[in-house]
Structure 1
Amino acid sequence: MLRYCHQWLCLIFITLVFIPSANANSELAAQISQLESNHERLTRYIKHPAKVSGEQRLLNRLRVKQIVDEQALQMNELLNDEDALAALSPEQLDTIKDILEEQATASVDALIELDRHISDERASRTTDDSNKLLDWELQMAQLQQRLDAMLSFSMQNITWQDQVGLPTSSDRTLFTKGLIERADDISLLLVYSEQQLAELTAEKSEALESEQERLDTAIRAYKQKIDSNNSSLELTVKLLDQLGANTSKYKEVLIASTGSVTEDIFNINVVSRLLSRWSSKLWAGVLEYGPDLLFKLLLIVAILAAFSFAAKTARKLVLKATSNSKLNLSALLKDFFASIVHKIIMLFGILVALGQAGIEVGPLLAGFGMAGIVIGFALQGTLSNFASGLMILIYRPFDVNDMVKAGGVTGTVEKLSLVNATIKTIDNQRIIVPNNKIWEDVITNVTAERVRRVDLVFGIGYKDDIAKAEQVITSVVKAHEHVLKHPEPVIKLANLGESSVDFWVRPWVRTENYWDVYWDLTRQIKLKFDEEGINIPFPQRDVHIYHTHTSADEPEQLSEPK
Structure 2
Amino acid sequence: MGTAIPYTQWQVSDLLFALIILVAAFIVARILISIFKKLLGRTKIPELAASFLIQLITALLYVAVLLATLSALGVTVSSVILGLSAVIGLILGFGMQDTLTNLGAGVWLAVLEPFNKNDYITVSGQTGYVKDVGLMSTELITSDNVYIMIPNKMVWNSAIVNMSHLPTRRFVLPMTFNLIENAEGTVKAVLDVLGKDPEILQNPEPKIYISNITDATVDLEIRAWVNTKDADTIKESVKEELLKEFEV
TM-score tier after normalising by the smaller chain length:
0.7 to 0.9
Q: Which amino acid in structure 1 is aligned with residue 40 of structure 2?
A: T
Q: Which amino acid in structure 2 is aligned with residue 495 of structure 1?
A: I
- Identify the residue that residue 49 of structure 2 maps to in structure 1: 333
Aligned match for 1:425, one of 137, 142, 146 = 142
Q: Which amino acid in structure 2 is aligned with residue 377 of structure 1?
A: G
Which structure exhibits the higher relative contact order, with contacts defined as CA atoms closer than 8 Å and separated by 6 or more residues?
Answer: 2
Q: Comparing both structures, which one devotes a greater share of its residues to helix?
A: 1
The Cα of 1:410 is off from its aligned counterpart by 1.4
Runs of 5+ unmatched residues, structure 2:
none
Query: Contact 1:456–1:506 (CA<8 Å) still a contact in 2?
Result: yes
The Cα of 1:478 is off from its aligned counterpart by 3.5
> Structure 1 residues 476 and 305 mapped into 2: Cα distance closer, same or farther (>3 Å)?
farther
Aligned match for 1:297, one of 7, 12, 15 = 15
Q: Which amino acid in structure 2 is aligned with residue 344 of structure 1?
A: L
Q: Which amino acid in structure 1 is aligned with residue 39 of structure 2?
A: A
The Cα of 1:468 is off from its aligned counterpart by 4.2
Residue 495 (str. 1) matches residue 210 (str. 2): yes
The Cα of 1:293 is off from its aligned counterpart by 3.9
The Cα of 1:357 is off from its aligned counterpart by 0.8
- Identify the residue that residue 377 of structure 1 maps to in structure 2: 93
The Cα of 1:521 is off from its aligned counterpart by 0.9
Separation in 2, partners of 1:389, 1:349: 24
Q: Comparing both structures, which one devotes a greater share of its residues to strand?
A: 2
The Cα of 1:466 is off from its aligned counterpart by 4.6
Separation in 2, partners of 1:341, 1:386: 13
**Larger gyration radius, structure 1 or structure 2:** 1
Separation in 2, partners of 1:462, 1:520: 22
Aligned pairs for 1:131-530 within 5 A? 288-289=3-4, 293-326=11-44, 329-378=45-94, 379-460=96-177, 464-466=181-183, 468-484=185-201, 487-492=203-208, 494-499=209-214, 501-530=218-247
TM-score normalised by the chain length of structure 2: 0.81
Q: Which amino acid in structure 2 is aligned with residue 296 of structure 1?
A: D
> Structure 1 residues 460 and 508 mapped into 2: Cα distance closer, same or farther (>3 Å)?
same
Separation in 2, partners of 1:287, 1:318: 41
Equivalent residue pairs, number: 241
Query: Contact 1:398–1:448 (CA<8 Å) still a contact in 2?
Result: yes
> Structure 1 residues 357 and 287 mapped into 2: Cα distance closer, same or farther (>3 Å)?
closer
Separation in 2, partners of 1:427, 1:305: 42
Separation in 1, partners of 2:55, 2:175: 51
Query: Contact 1:491–1:503 (CA<8 Å) still a contact in 2?
Result: no
Secondary structure at 2:149 match in 1: strand
Runs of 5+ unmatched residues, structure 1:
1-285, 531-535, 537-562
Separation in 2, partners of 1:344, 1:437: 24
Aligned-pair identity (%): 21
Q: Which amino acid in structure 2 is aligned with residue 399 of structure 1?
A: N
Deviation by residue 1:154-175 (Cα, 9 ceiling, x = unmatched): xxxxxxxxxxxxxxxxxxxxxx
TM-score normalised by the chain length of structure 1: 0.39
Query: Contact 1:454–1:508 (CA<8 Å) still a contact in 2?
Result: yes
> Structure 1 residues 350 and 417 mapped into 2: Cα distance closer, same or farther (>3 Å)?
same
Q: Which amino acid in structure 1 is aligned with residue 186 of structure 2?
A: A
Separation in 1, partners of 2:140, 2:225: 27
